[in-house]
Every structure is written in C-alpha cells, then in structure tokens.
Amino acid sequence: MRRSICQAIEDHSLLKLDYGDRLRIVEPHIYGEDSRGHELLSAYQVSGGSVSGEHVGWKLFDLDKVRGVEVMPIRFLEPQAAYNPGDRTFTRVYSRL
C-alpha cells in the first residue's frame, strides 16, 4: 500500500480508498507518520462517502482504517488551495507533493 500511495502522489494520480465502510476518491497530498507512529494521508476528497456528511474537502485518513487502495488512471494538475506542505501533523514524511 505504501508504494501505491507514494506513486500516486508522485504522479498526481487520484486514489480510490476503501475507508471504513465507504469508498472515497481523493487527491493525495502528504503521506507519512504522526508523532505516535500512526500512518496518515492528507488528501483532498473529491467524491465518495463520508461519515461527517462532507463529501468534498480536506481529510486526514488513518491508514489503519484503509482496507484497500487503488491508483486511478486520472490525474489532478496541481495542489488544492490551502495545501500546507509543512503540515506539522507529520513528524515523518514518506511522500508529498
């Protein structure tokens, strides 16, 4: 899964995540770990389900809750507005835009 997420970030490819009990389509921006060693993905969700009811917008995904990842053959051109490449949530970064 790590390789797929890093490749999607490098290629600016959309990801399909099976997250919890919902499918989500996201633009991945940062993948890494927080201070507790949990793997996280900061991404902009463009479609799919959401427990909060917000189907589009910035989300922080806990990779322990991801049951499947698919790199889609669709690219996004540039980072979304409000992208923060220096997000302090991440103490270790595997890949970022």
**Residue 69 belongs to domain with CATH number:** 2.30.30
Count of domains for the chain: 1
Per DSSP, the three-state class of 38 is coil
52 secondary structure, DSSP code? S
Residue range of the domain that includes 50: 2-78+86-96
Q: Is 94 left (phi over 0), alpha (psi -120 to 50) or beta?
A: alpha
- Exposed / middle / buried, residue 31 (Cβ in 10 Å: 0-12, 13-18, 19+): buried
Length of the chain: 97
pLDDT tens series, the chain, 97 aa: 899 999 999 999 999 999 988 999 999 999 999 999 999 999 999 998 877 767 789 999 999 999 999 999 999 999 999 999 999 999 999 999 9
